[in-house]
Amino acid sequence: MPEAPAAAPRLLPTVSIVEETMRQALRAVAVALACTALLTTTLLAERLWSSAQLEHAADRHAQANRLAGEIRLTEQELLQAAQSAALTGEASWIERYDRLTATLTQKVEHASLLVPMNVAQRYRDKTVDAANEIAQMRQSALNALQSGALDAARSLFDGERYTSRTRLIREATEELTAVSLAATESRVRELRTRSYAVAAAALTITLGGGFFLWRRLSSGLKHSRGSLLDAEVRVQRLAASDMLTGLDNRAALHDAMQSRLGRAERLNQELAVLMVDLDRFKPVNDRNGHMVGDLVLKEVARRLGRCLRQSDLRARYGGDEFVIVIDEADGMRTAPAAAQRIIETLSEPMFFGDLTVSIGASVGIARYPRDARSDDELIRKADSALYRAKKNGHGEVCLYDPKLDEALAERAALEAALREGIAGGQLIPFYQPIVSLSRRNVVSLELLCRWKHPERGLLTPDKFIALAEDSGLIGPLTLSLLNQACQDMLSFPPSWRLSFNVAPQQIQDENLVPQLLAVLKDNHVPPHRLDVELTETALVNDTARARAVILALKRAGMTVTLDDFGTGYSNLSYLSELTFDKIKIDRSFVQKLKTDQQSSTKIIEAIIGLSRSLGADNVAEGVETEEQADMLQKLGCRNGQGYLFGRPVRAEELQQRIALAADLVLPLDSQMMVDVLL
């Protein structure tokens, strides 16, 4: 069983690669936008908060400043009130002094709120004794004043003790206000620093995030680029390979060959190009359909892989043509041996379910450098070797031979000349009489083609009919001949019919019958004057088609003769399906009448018996002697054709002889007529 064919390479998801890249880019942009929004919000919130804090700190700073000024002022006023009270002894100063003392205490309390707790505590600790002492001294001074002892009161205020205590308190208060100011200033500084730190953090996060995103995006893009490059490589590979078999296609083969040839030249190596053509592939394809044909081609590709090296080039070159390039550097492998292996492998039967398919292969080989040095030339020469391999039969290997090329070139030149010859009227009809053996009168003329070649003279059909058939020129050739023959027929007696050869290939031509009829009609020749000769080859290949053509010819009024009977096929089953008006005994049997009388007599008798049982007339060709004519007549043969009655001649020659017969006042359809023609 052939292995399941390799899965065809998946089509490239280029679209999804692009989509993925776009998705990544969009995701990156979205993340960047989200981060920016978050950062902006954070910065804004921080800004709002810190400016509120700054405002608050500035407020406290202003408060501290103001308090410091007020404390200094209150102290001076207090000092002044004490001194004035001591100088004047007036109670109003004393009251003022009391009020100012309370105010000062209040302000100091207030100021201590603006400093850290420990500073306030330290202030309190430092000043509590002095304050108490001053309060006592002040009480004593007041008592002295009230009792009129002004000097005692004054001396208390002027005293060293009072002065040092008030200084201590003043200094502590100054320190407190200074600390209070410093505290608020440092708070402001702290807030500013914090603002800078937040801004720096935001910047760092932005840069870091940006860098991270950029890295992610660039690695994503790098990945996409890789995928796209992969995709491109795969697209190139697909473009270079044959869709069905996965082998290289023509273009890829030529590219690869050029580089192989370059290397072979550098390393002084030899290469061989094998052109492989499948045998019997067309009938397999026609009979089983293209699906099976495709499976066969895939299987061929797989088997080629099996019997070749990985490094050998393998390409599908055309429908069922493959090209293999192997290097013969190791001397162990020769191209003919590889070709033989390929043929053997491909000739093994293939199984597709219930279906068994047998094909084969022929191989043509051209070698570098001996046969050619360029890829085109090597392939052309391998192809010309293949042409000969195919001509030799199935399963052959042929090496390129320069003589082949000459033959091919000659053939190509001949084909071109034939094409021109047909158009230029160089293909002309010759006529050979077919005679009734009993009455010896002419019943028909067989139209036999001759080519009046401008350089090579008069060519017989064996030089060009096969070529015309192979190159598709047989159609135009036939119509041109029939057209000329129809004009000639105007000068022939109306009882003479025209026997006209139709090549096997022409049976496949849908237009054959309508075209023949059109020519007859154009020349006013009634179809019943035409007898179409078909060979067995035309019938056995496609009996159904042959039956349709024969029926169409008969319906149009023509008769049909089976030509060269007995030479081709042993299987006569087609005779039961097809009806002929006449059977032509091949000249090989007639000619053997002399040498191998017994067996040829039996065959001729059998053919005549067969024609009778089919209700058909008969004619023997190649009648050269009276003896043969006599024997044939005795065997029951009704008509004869051959050099005895006349060689193929041009219409003018026939016309001259007819005129001669008329001059002799001979009845045209008589023994004498044949004598005249002879």
Q: Is the CB of 377 or the CB of 564 nearer to Ca ion?
A: 564
Residue 624 near ligand C2E by CB under 6 A: yes
- Find the shortest distance in angstroms from Cβ 426 to ligand C2E: 14
Piece in contact with Ca ion (CB under 5 A), picked from 279-287, 468-476, 555-563, 658-666: 555-563
Sign of CA dihedral 516, 518, 522, 528: positive
- Binders of ligand C2E among residues 52 to 71 (CB under 6 A) are none
- Find the shortest distance in angstroms from Cβ 648 to ligand C2E: 5
* CA–CA distance, 260 with 510 (Å, rounded to integer): 48
153 contact, one of ligand C2E, Ca ion, none, CB 5-8 Å limit per kind: none
- Binders of ligand C2E among residues 625 to 664 (CB under 6 A) are 641-643, 648
SS3 394: coil
- Find the shortest distance in angstroms from Cβ 516 to ligand C2E: 12
Sign of CA dihedral 435, 439, 440, 445: negative
432 contact, one of ligand C2E, Ca ion, none, CB 5-8 Å limit per kind: ligand C2E
- Binders of ligand C2E among residues 476 to 515 (CB under 6 A) are 478, 481, 501, 503
Angle at alpha carbon of residue 586, lines to 581 and 588, rounded to 5°: 170
Window 29-68: contact mask with Ca ion (x via CB under 5 A) = ----------------------------------------
How many helices and strands, by DSSP H and E, does the chain display?
22, 17
The 8 Å CB, 24+ separation contacts for 28-31 are: 28/213, 28/216, 28/217, 28/220, 31/209, 31/213
Residue 371 near Ca ion by CB under 5 A: no
Candidate residues 248, 277, 509, 563; the one interacting with ligand C2E per rule CB under 6 A: 563
* CA–CA distance, 275 with 270 (Å, rounded to integer): 17
Contact 39, 205 (CB under 8 A): yes
- Binders of Ca ion among residues 515 to 534 (CB under 5 A) are 533
Piece in contact with ligand C2E (CB under 6 A), picked from 14-22, 516-524, 597-605, 622-630: 622-630
Piece in contact with ligand C2E (CB under 6 A), picked from 11-19, 80-88, 234-242, 615-623: 615-623
Candidate residues 293, 433, 622, 640; the one interacting with ligand C2E per rule CB under 6 A: 622
* CA–CA distance, 581 with 499 (Å, rounded to integer): 12
Amino acid in the structure at residue 524: H
- Binders of ligand C2E among residues 415 to 454 (CB under 6 A) are 432, 447-449
Query: How far, CA to CA in Å, does 153 sit from each of 3, 74, 144, 291?
Result: 131, 21, 6, 136
Q: Is the CB of 343 or the CB of 562 nearer to ligand C2E?
A: 562
**String of DSSP letters for 603-658:** HHHHHHHHHHHTT-EEEEE---SHHHHHHHHHTT--EEESTTT---EEHHHHHHHH
Piece in contact with Ca ion (CB under 5 A), picked from 34-42, 123-131, 150-158, 499-507: 499-507
Task: Provide the Cα torsion 540, 546, 550, 553; round to 10°.
Answer: -140
604 contact, one of ligand C2E, Ca ion, none, CB 5-8 Å limit per kind: none
Candidate residues 2, 89, 369, 461; the one interacting with ligand C2E per rule CB under 6 A: 461
For residue 342, with 0-12 CB atoms within 10 Å meaning exposed, 13-18 middle and 19 or more buried, which class applies? buried
Angle at alpha carbon of residue 186, lines to 180 and 191, rounded to 5°: 130
Q: Is the CB of 198 or the CB of 448 nearer to ligand C2E?
A: 448
- The phi and psi torsions of 360 (rounded to 5 degrees) equal -155, -170
SS3 396: coil
460 contact, one of Ca ion, ligand C2E, none, CB 5-8 Å limit per kind: ligand C2E
Q: Is the CB of 338 or the CB of 485 nearer to ligand C2E?
A: 485
461 contact, one of ligand C2E, Ca ion, none, CB 5-8 Å limit per kind: ligand C2E
**Cα–chain center distance at 358:** 31
String of b and e for 172-192 (b: at least 16 CB within 10 Å)? bbeebbebbbebbeebbeebe
Candidate residues 294, 401, 415, 564; the one interacting with Ca ion per rule CB under 5 A: 564
* CA–CA distance, 154 with 598 (Å, rounded to integer): 188
173 contact, one of ligand C2E, Ca ion, none, CB 5-8 Å limit per kind: none
- Binders of ligand C2E among residues 155 to 174 (CB under 6 A) are none
- Find the shortest distance in angstroms from Cβ 584 to Ca ion: 6
299 contact, one of Ca ion, ligand C2E, none, CB 5-8 Å limit per kind: none
Partner residues linked to 618 by β-bridges: 583
Q: Is the CB of 127 or the CB of 501 nearer to ligand C2E?
A: 501
Contact 357, 304 (CB under 8 A): no
Q: Is the CB of 371 or the CB of 531 nearer to Ca ion?
A: 531
Could you tell me how many residues of this chain bind ligand C2E (CB under 6 A)? 23
Residue 551 near ligand C2E by CB under 6 A: no
Contact 294, 238 (CB under 8 A): no
Contact 140, 133 (CB under 8 A): no
Report the candidate in 623, 618, 617, 549 with the shortest Cα–Cα distance to residue 589.
Answer: 623
- Find the shortest distance in angstroms from Cβ 651 to ligand C2E: 14
617 contact, one of ligand C2E, Ca ion, none, CB 5-8 Å limit per kind: none
Q: Which residues make up the interface to Ca ion (CB under 5 A)? A: 501, 533, 563-564
The footprint of ligand C2E (CB under 6 A) covers 432, 447-449, 460-462, 465, 478, 481, 501, 503, 563-564, 587, 621-624, 641-643, 648
